[in-house]
């Protein structure tokens, strides 16, 4: 790489503000292709449509199950096998119950 050239300004140019470099405004979105913008709104729907609710529900459940799996693995590595087994059995029982309750609730409020 070459050396950077040092820029010098006269006092008159400096006082006039000509030393300032032009800054370009940064876009809030990264564009990977023309017309495709990726932002937080892309991944976090905030509307009240059924599709948005389903996306948030599935994403939340996925994050919960991943966190529980990591917790169980950490407990097993530390030698707390019984605690990990209790968490696994509780989650295995409560997951279908919660899904059933939610399904019945949605069926009753939809029709």
Model pTM score: 0.52
CA dist 107 to 57, 59, 60, 97, Å? 16, 21, 21, 15
Number of domains forming the structure of the chain: 1
Residue 82 located in a structural domain: yes
Residue 58 located in a structural domain: yes
Residue 10 located in a structural domain: no
pLDDT tens digits, one per residue of 10-60:
788 777 776 666 665 555 555 555 656 666 666 666 666 677 777 778 888
- The mean pLDDT value for 53-75 works out to 89
Residue 34 located in a structural domain: no
pLDDT tens digits, one per residue of 92-108:
999 999 989 988 988 88
């Amino acid at each position: 790489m070459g050396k950077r050239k040092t820029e010098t300004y006269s006092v008159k140019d400096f006082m006039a503000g000509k030393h300032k470099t032009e800054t370009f405004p940064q876009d809030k979105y990264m564009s990977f292709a023309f017309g495709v913008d990726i932002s937080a709104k892309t991944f976090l729907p905030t509307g009240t449509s059924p599709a948005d609710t389903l996306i948030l529900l599935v994403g939340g459940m996925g994050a919960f199950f991943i966190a529980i799996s990591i917790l169980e693995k950490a407990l097993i590595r530390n030698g707390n096998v019984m605690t990990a087994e209790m968490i696994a059995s509780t989650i295995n029982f409560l997951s279908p119950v919660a899904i059933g309750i939610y399904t019945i609730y949605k069926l009753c409020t939809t029709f």
